[in-house]
Amino acid sequence: MSEIESGCVDDFVLHAWADDNDETMNDERRSEVGDHVATCDTCSQQVEELRRFRTLLLRARVPTLQDDQWRMLDTRIEMMAGEPPPRGGQTAGRIYWGIAIAAAVSIFAVGGWQLLQGRGAGPTTTLSEAGQARVAGAFTTVPVAVAEGSLEIAGADGLFRALRVDDKLARGAQVRSSAGGRLVVADNFELRIAAGTALSVLAGNEREVFLRLRHGAVACRVNKRRPGQRFGILAGRFRTSVVGTEFTVRHDQEGRVAVAVTEGAVRVDEADDPWRKVSETTSVVRAGNRWRFTGGRMDLGPIVQEPEPGQAERRAPHGDENGARPVVAGAPAKPQSEETPPSATALSDSAPSRPALDAGRDGAALEPAAARRVRRPRAGSPTDATHVDTALRGTTSPTDRVAPRAAASVAVPSAVLSLPPPLPAQPSPPAPLDRGPTRPTAGAVTAARTAPRGAKPAAGKSAGSAEATDPSIEHRILINVPPQAMTPEEIRRAKAAERRRGGHGRALHHDVSP
Amino acid sequence: MAAVQTRDDKVREDEVDKRLVAAYARGNSHALSELYRRHSRRVESVARHVVGPSDEVEDIVQDVFIELQRALHKFRGESRFTTWLHRVTVNVSLQHLRKKKRKGWSRWIGLDQIVGRHQPRSRNLERQTEARETLRAIYEVLDTLTEKKRLVFTLYEMEGLSLEEISHVSGTSVNTVKSRLFHARREVFGEVKRRGLLPTHTLQVIK
């Protein structure tokens, strides 16, 4: 080239030549410049300097995150990924993560400011009265009053350690149990957590405790809910709020949700945020009824009790078709012991039901992010076919996370759950659990608008048959509180919310008290 | 270090990414988890070279995936997913810098950590101090570049992105990227030389 022939090459060219991987220079040109550099002292000297310069750049590279930072990040993202995908570009997750970050690094002011700014409040997310209360209370934590059994908690650092009595549950914390345990938070919210259960804390303060049941089973009891206290469980895309009742919620990894009410009433609506306004799909399910979401359809109807041989006399209320009573082919029904409180007995299904939960104990679903990190290839490395295949399925199946559990679920198609052993500490079993299996049903179910996003109620479907086709029952919650109707204030707020949306405030008008 | 990917590999990987995006759109939340697993390192690396040595990188990576969760439905599949992801990462990173009003790499106070990691065995206090000062000086030099030039320079020289990828990320043409790279190289090299920062020897393996 002329520039080379006429003398030294431009430093642009030498820069490119000194970098072996530079893509601005083709091979022919590289060869030409190389020939020149070999014979030119000036250029040769400059190339030497450029190589030292590149060494300097190499030393100045910003190092990657450290392992503990990656662990923290993995945990956060894992939690976020467990949330249902937002629809319509809503940004509820931003609020959620704003809080998670703040909780993690204890920067109250920054997170609070973001919330006060309403940052991330999407079109369908509005800070209601409860939301405003959240601003005041979201960054507090709820103390753990009792922690028994094999309970572990992962904080913002992503590491799991044993949960202790003095611990505080902050939003974002993850709780898991490998072999079952009992937990009491906020003094009056008792959770008995089954083996192989994973929960995350969506809200944790004295006023409200909302948990996301990621998988597993939790028996909950609220003792004397104080005015203004809110408790609830989010399972899948549905929120079940304690209105004052005893009920069972189940949720499997295919998104099916079932709620059976045995006392009082619950409010079920479609919400992936504890503070979302009461949605248009609110259903108020009264005692003796059940609500289901299967196959994209909502279904309301009475609880149908199908007595099992040898069990009809003593079966607990949640031993109904929604109640996850284990039925194992060929396994005789095990009578409950006299000393065991009915609620505990029903929830702590013994031997025949163990396998399903045991299958879930393989740890895969609860696998800490730190363990997975080891397997994670660098970006751009060949795909882990198993992971991808799992994630690519249109809907999550039980086999997505824990194949052994799915296999067990298929083998034991009924609701098979085993919760921790009955706890002797329970002073007295809640009265509603001692009731007979059947409750009045007619007219006891009210759905304000029961069709979410194209869903159609499937009336007349046999609850029992639906249960039989339910291959995996992985989530069950029993919330047991003293019978209590919705407070006037709750009803007023719900109606006001309905009217603000342009509705007629009928959501709660049509309730038929049990 | 991962093996160098061929063009076919990249196409295949991109197809998988797009299928994951589609799965996520259908409601499979595990798809996001998988996308994170596949690309978190890449995102972190790009973010780290946009904002510099900062303890904010972790938050930025998280913000990127929050943004991804929110905006994944906007990805139309017209470009490669990683290109789109890079762009999101750069945007989030720049947004972060602007929000914090932190313009310079050299203003970060945690240089000791970098020195410690580059020279983990060095217990010589004097050498460590010297290394820290050199590092600070290099970052000061990088701070003299404009934001656009620094982005191109660091992504190309330090992160190893291709010119084409940088052009997608920065929303400019390849020629513009080349031009910025050339000028950035000249400016940085000149300043480094002027300050006497060049090391006395080169490493055997440059890249």
Distances (CA, A) of A292 to A86, A122, A228, A299: 22, 28, 28, 5
In a domain, B106, yes or no: no
In a domain, B4, yes or no: no
Give the three-class secondary structure for A97. Answer: helix
Question: B176 pLDDT exceeds 90?
Answer: yes
Q: How far is CA A438 from CA A187, A290, A346, A434, B196, in A?
A: 32, 12, 16, 11, 88
**In the structure encoding, which two tokens stand for residue A389, read together?**
């295949």
* Averaged pLDDT, A187-191: 77
User: Phi and psi at residue B118, in whole multiples of 5°?
Assistant: -75, -30
What ipTM was estimated for this complex? Answer: 0.77
A73 closest CB neighbour out of B62, B189, B207:
B62
Give percent above pLDDT 90 in chain A: 0
B48 vs A contacts (CB less than 8 Å)? 62, 64-65
- Measure the CA–CA gap between A487 and A493, rounded to whole angstroms: 10
Instruction: State residue A124's pLDDT score.
Output: 29
Q: Does residue B3 belong to any structural domain of this protein? A: no
CB–CB contacts below 8 A, A to B: 204
Using CA coordinates, name the residue in chain B closest to A83.
Answer: B29
Which residue, B78, B100, B122, sits at the end of a domain? B100
Write the burial class of residue A505 (CB in 10 Å: 0-12 exposed, 13-18 middle, 19+ buried).
Answer: middle
At which of B76, B100, B124 does a domain end?
Answer: B100
The CATH number of the domain where B18 resides is what?
Answer: 1.10.1740.10
Q: For residue range A444-485, what is the model confidence (pLDDT) as tens digits?
A: 233 333 333 333 333 333 333 333 333 333 333 333 333 334
Confidence of residue B180 (pLDDT cuts 50, 70, 90): very high
* pLDDT tens profile B50-89: 887 777 788 888 888 888 888 888 888 888 888 889 889 9
In angstroms, the Cα distances linking A356 to A249, A408, B48 are 18, 5, 45
Least confident of A329-343, B67-81, B96-110, B172-186: A329-343
Q: How far is C-alpha A220 from the chain's CA centre?
A: 16
Identify which has the larger pLDDT, A442 or A95: A95
Mean pLDDT score, B170-180: 89
Q: Report the alpha-carbon distance of residue A125 to residue A275 in Å, rounded.
A: 9
Residue A33: predicted pLDDT: 84
Mean pLDDT of chain B: 79
Same domain, B84 and B116: no
Nearest Cβ partner for A379 among B38, B52, B53: B38
Which of A74, A255, A79 shows the shortest CA–CA distance to B27? A255
User: Do residues B93 and B148 share a domain?
Assistant: no
The verdict on B122 and B95 lying in the same domain is no
Chain B residue with minimal CA distance to A47? B202
Q: Are B125 and B63 contained in the same domain?
A: no
Question: B115 and B80 in one domain?
Answer: no
**Confidence label for B170 from pLDDT (cuts 50, 70 and 90):** confident
Residue B40 in any domain: the answer is yes
Distance of residue A272 Cα from the nearest chain B Cα, in angstroms: 13
Instruction: Tell me which residue range forms the domain holding B180.
Output: 111-194
Please list, in sequence order, all residues whose beta carbon lies within 8 angstroms of the beta carbon of residue A511, skipping any fewer than 6 positions away. A265, A284, A286, A446
* CA proximity to A254, closest of B22, B20, B26: B26
| Residue B183 phi, psi dihedral angles, 5° rounding | -70, -40
**Confidence category of residue A441, pLDDT binned at 50, 70, 90:** very low
The pLDDT, as a whole number, for residue A157 is 57
Which domains, and CATH codes, for chain A? 2-59 (no CATH), 73-329+339-359+414-500 (2.60.120.1440)
- What is the overall mean pLDDT for chain A? 55
Task: Give the separation between CA A236 and CA A259, rounded to whole angstroms.
Answer: 13
Which amino acid would we find at residue B79?
Answer: S
Pick the residue with more confidence: A199 or A513?
A: A199
Written as one string, the DSSP assignment of A137-172 is HTTS-EEEEEEEEEEEEE-TT--EEE--TT-EE-TT
Question: For residue B81, is it within any domain?
Answer: yes
> In this structure, are B78 and B24 located in the same domain?
yes
- Whether residue A56 and residue B192 make contact (CB cut-off 8 A), yes or no, is yes
pTM score, two decimals?
Answer: 0.44
Write the pLDDT tens digit of every residue in A251-283: 666 667 777 776 666 777 777 666 666 665 667
The structure tokens listed for A160 are 């799991």
pLDDT at A49 exceeding the cut of 70? yes
C-beta atoms of B53 and A86 within 8 A: no
pLDDT at position A317: 37
| Other Cβ atoms closer than 10 A to B54 | 23
- The answer for residues whose C-beta is within 8 angstroms of residue A79's C-beta and 6 or more apart is A100, A172, A174, A200
Report d(CA A263, CA A289) in Å as an integer.
Answer: 9
Residue B197 sits at the vertex; the CA angle it makes with B191 and B198, to the nearest 5 degrees, is 100
Do B50 and B84 share a structural domain? Answer: yes
CB contact under 8 A, B32 and A81: yes
Highest mean pLDDT (candidates A124-128, A244-248, B6-10, B133-137)? B133-137
Give domain status of residue B160, yes or no.
Answer: yes
Q: Which amino acid is at A456?
A: K
Total structural domains in chain B? 2
Q: Which of A61, A80, A382 sits opposite B69 (nearest CB)?
A: A80
Count Cβ atoms within 10 A of the Cβ of residue A270 and give its class: 0-12 exposed, 13-18 middle, 19 or more buried. buried
Identify which has the larger pLDDT, A329 or A197: A197
B118 and B85 in a common domain: no
Q: What is the pLDDT of residues B112-165, one digit of tens each?
A: 555 555 554 556 667 767 777 777 888 888 888 888 898 899 888 887 788 888
Query: Quick one: B121 and B81 in the same domain?
Result: no
CB contact under 8 A, B45 and A64: yes
